[in-house]
Amino acid sequence: MKILVGLGNPGAQYAGHRHNIGFMALDRIASDHGFGPWRAKFNGEVSEGRLGADKVLLLKPATFMNESGRAVQAACAFHKVAPADVIVFHDELDLAPGKVRLKTGGGHAGHNGLRSIHAHLGPDYDRVRLGIGHPGHKDRVAGYVLHDFAKADQDWLDDVLRGISDGIGQLIDGHGDRFLNAIALRAAPPRSSTTKPAKPPGPSPAKPAAAAAPEPDTRSALERLKDRFK
């Protein structure tokens, strides 16, 4: 079994926050892949289903961000799942909006949700780092993450969530590169083969000059006759 954990804060007032992009990712997976209804369990909400041959549990902790580890530990203990079979989806300030990266182990970089999971489970789990950008100064971080995504973010956000859903089976199978490629195809689809190639750089070739028109013959008829017999 695999446990996919989305990090966020419970409650309708937090649903659109940047901090809740992990919840959004799990909601899209559950909807697109026919998972069961969400139900309360393990200090959170869970939904069960299958991705390929693997049984998968989706978990959204209901403990608020800084206590996320309690829900993850409870689910792992009940299902006897090792940290290596846990994948956590979370917002990442250090990545530009729309960028997605994978990471296994390492530090929590000050993220309160990851800090809590470290404390209850250790660091040896996989993470899907979902870039939301940085507000520019650390004093603005709390207000930034606890605020809805802007309207201008909706296009790339939808592309990323669709890409996650497209590629989640590959991630479960251990093909992280194919998972990231599925997201990239949504975020930057290839150009159509019917697209006209771009013109090469440099000056355009000069057009050939038009032939000069002949000058009119202003000679008299007698002068033209004389020229013919020279």
List, in order, residues 6 or more apart from 162 with CB less than 8 Å away: 28, 186
Q: List the catalytic residue out of 19, 111, 137, 147.
A: 19
- 79 included as an active-site residue: no
DSSP helix/strand/coil, 4: strand
**Residue 146, Cα to own-chain centre: how many angstroms?**
20
Q: Which amino acid is at 154?
A: Q
Instruction: Tell me how many degrees the CA angle 159-130-89 measures, rounded to the nearest 5.
Output: 105
Scored b (16 or more CB within 10 A) or e, 56-89 reads bbbbbbbbebebbbbbbbbbbeeeebebebbbbb
Radius of gyration of the chain (CA): 31
Residue 43: CB partners within 8 Å, gap ≥ 6?
A: 61, 62, 63, 67, 70, 71, 74
Sign for the pseudo-dihedral over CA of 167, 171, 172, 173: positive
Any residues with CB less than 8 A from the CB of 97 and at least 6 apart, and which? Answer: 131, 132, 133, 153, 156
Catalytic residues: 19
